[in-house]
Amino acid sequence: MSTWKKRLKNFERRVRTSFGDDISTPKARRNAFWHYHLFDHAFLRTFWTNFAQLAPGVYRSNQPTHARWVRYKRDYDLKAVINLRGADKFSPYLFEKESLEQLGIQLIDVPIYARRPASRDEMLDLIDALKNTPKPFLLHCKSGADRAGLASVLYLHLVEGVPLAQARKQLSWRFLHLKSTMTGAVDFVLDAYEDDTAGSDMSFEDWVATTYDKTTLFNKFKAQRGITD
Domain-embedded: residue 180: yes
The answer to the question of residue 11 being in a domain is no
pLDDT of 1 above 90: no
Residue 25, amino acid: T
Residues 94-123, mean pLDDT to the nearest whole number: 98
**How confident is the model at residue 52, as a pLDDT?**
98
pLDDT for the residue 19? 87
Among the listed residues 198, 179, 215, 83, the one whose alpha carbon sits nearest the alpha carbon of residue 138: 83
Q: What is the pLDDT, as a whole number, of residue 229?
A: 64
Query: Which letter, b or e, does each residue of 16-35 get, where b requires 16 or more Cβ atoms within 10 Å of its Cβ?
Result: eeeebbbbeeeeeeebbeeb
Question: Residue 210 falls within a domain, yes or no?
Answer: yes
pLDDT at 102: 98
Average pLDDT of the chain is: 95
| CA separation for the pair 97, 158 (Å, rounded) | 28
Residue 61, pLDDT score: 98
Query: In this structure, is residue 13 part of a structural domain?
Result: no
Q: Is residue 1 part of a domain?
A: no
Phi, psi of 80 (to 5 degrees): -155, 160
Query: Alpha carbon of 146 to those of 1, 24, 31, 56, 189: distances in Å?
Result: 23, 32, 29, 22, 12
Give the model's pLDDT for residue 90: 96
20: in domain: no
Integer Cα distance of 96 and 86 in angstroms? 11
Q: Which of 145, 138, 140 is nearest to 105 (CA)?
A: 138
Q: What is the pTM of this model?
A: 0.94
Q: Which domain holds residue 214?
A: 25-225
In angstroms, what CA-CA distances link 94 with 14, 32, 33, 46, 64? 19, 9, 10, 17, 13
Model confidence pLDDT, tens digit, residues 156-188: 999 999 999 999 999 999 999 999 999 999 999
Structural domain count, the chain:
1
**Tens digit of each residue's pLDDT (9 = 90 or more) over 33-50:** 999 999 999 999 999 999
Segment 55-93, tens digit of pLDDT: 999 999 999 999 999 999 999 999 999 999 999 999 999
Instruction: Identify the band that residue 226 occupies on the pLDDT scale cut at 50, 70 and 90.
Output: confident
| DSSP letter assigned to residue 32 | H
CATH number of the domain enclosing 104: 3.90.190.10
Q: What is the pLDDT of residue 16?
A: 79
**Which amino acid makes up residue 166?**
Q
